């Protein structure tokens, strides 16, 4: 009876080792699968973030960060010294001054850094005056006003044969050419050189010493 009740022998050692190795392999495979899933998830999130960032930068580059054309406008022209010059019969040394009020509207999100600008004045097909404007800054989305003073030499006017008839008619038809160049720099990423040119024709009224019949054509190069 004692011999029958003896415990059954344990499984062979080789079988136990095989079972344990199988369990360890299954556990390792589960860990590798979880690791691969985490890696795939991280890669997917990173790719999505990169695509979102690239799309955002592309949209900004074509909308907010796109360099827009500045708008140059001649607001008024005031004539000074014309009456004195006429009384002196435009003798040498008598000058006529034109004070031109010009505005520059900058629609960009960055300031427009202006270089030296030049304005030329023409009468009877000849250049009779020239003015230089110093550098400046047109702030982002603001309008900058500039007063350009053009000195006209009397002897230059006397060289125009039609001066006498125009004085009798009380009007001097003139033309002007203004060139303003500069650079727009957006976050040191987008840098664009801008050149604004404006050709104007106008009539200077001798009696009121003001401008009328102004017509300007503008061209902007980016």
Task: Report how far residue 80's alpha carbon sits from residue 97's, in angstroms, rounded to the nearest whole number.
Answer: 5
Q: Which tokens in the block code for residue 159?
A: 């060289």
Q: Full-prediction pTM beyond 0.75? A: no
**CB neighbourhood size of 130 (10 A):** 13
What pLDDT sits at residue 46? Answer: 82
pLDDT in the model for residue 28: 63
Q: Which of 184, 182, 176 is nearest to 134 (CA)?
A: 182
pLDDT at 58: 63
pLDDT at 158 (0 to 100): 83
What does pLDDT average to in each consecutive run of 10 residues of the chain (222 residues)? 52 52 59 72 82 71 75 88 76 79 91 92 92 90 91 83 90 93 86 93 87 90 87
Task: Give the C-alpha separation, 142 to 103, whole Å.
Answer: 10
The contacts of residue 202 (CB under 8 Å, 6+ apart) are 77, 173, 174, 175, 176, 211, 212, 213, 214, 215
Is the distance from CB of 194 to CB of 69 less than 8 angstroms? Answer: yes
Q: What is the pLDDT of residue 123?
A: 93
The tokens for 12 are 């062979």
pLDDT score recorded for residue 50: 84
**Domain extents for the chain?**
27-66, 69-221
> Cα(55)–Cα(48) distance, rounded to whole angstroms?
10
The CATH number given to 69-221 is: 2.60.40
Q: Give the model's pLDDT for residue 202.
A: 92
User: Is residue 204 within 8 Å of residue 77, measured between CB atoms?
Assistant: yes
What pLDDT is stored for residue 35 in this prediction?
73
């Amino acid at each position: 009876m004692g011999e029958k009740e003896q415990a059954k022998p344990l499984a062979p050692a080789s079988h136990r080792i095989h079972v344990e190795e199988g369990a360890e392999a299954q556990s390792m495979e589960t860990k590798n699968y979880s690791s691969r899933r985490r890696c795939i998830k991280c890669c997917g999130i990173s790719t999505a973030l990169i695509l979102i960032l690239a799309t955002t930068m592309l949209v900004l580059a074509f909308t907010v960060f796109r360099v827009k054309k500045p708008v140059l406008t001649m607001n008024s022209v005031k004539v000074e010294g014309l009456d004195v010059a006429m009384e002196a019969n435009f003798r040498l040394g008598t000058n006529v001054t034109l004070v031109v009020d010009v505005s520059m509207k900058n629609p960009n999100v960055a300031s427009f850094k202006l270089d030296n600008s030049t304005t030329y004045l023409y009468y009877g097909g000849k250049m009779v005056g020239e003015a230089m404007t110093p550098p400046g800054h047109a702030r982002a989305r603001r309008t900058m006003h500039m007063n350009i003073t053009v000195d006209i030499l009397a002897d230059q006017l006397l060289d125009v044969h039609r001066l006498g008839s125009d004085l009798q008619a009380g009007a001097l038809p003139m033309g002007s050419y203004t060139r303003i160049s500069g650079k727009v720099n957006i976050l040191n990423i987008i840098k664009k050189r801008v050149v604004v040119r404006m050709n104007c024709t106008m009539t200077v009224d001798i009696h009121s010493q003001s401008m009328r019949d102004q017509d300007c054509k503008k061209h902007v190069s980016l």
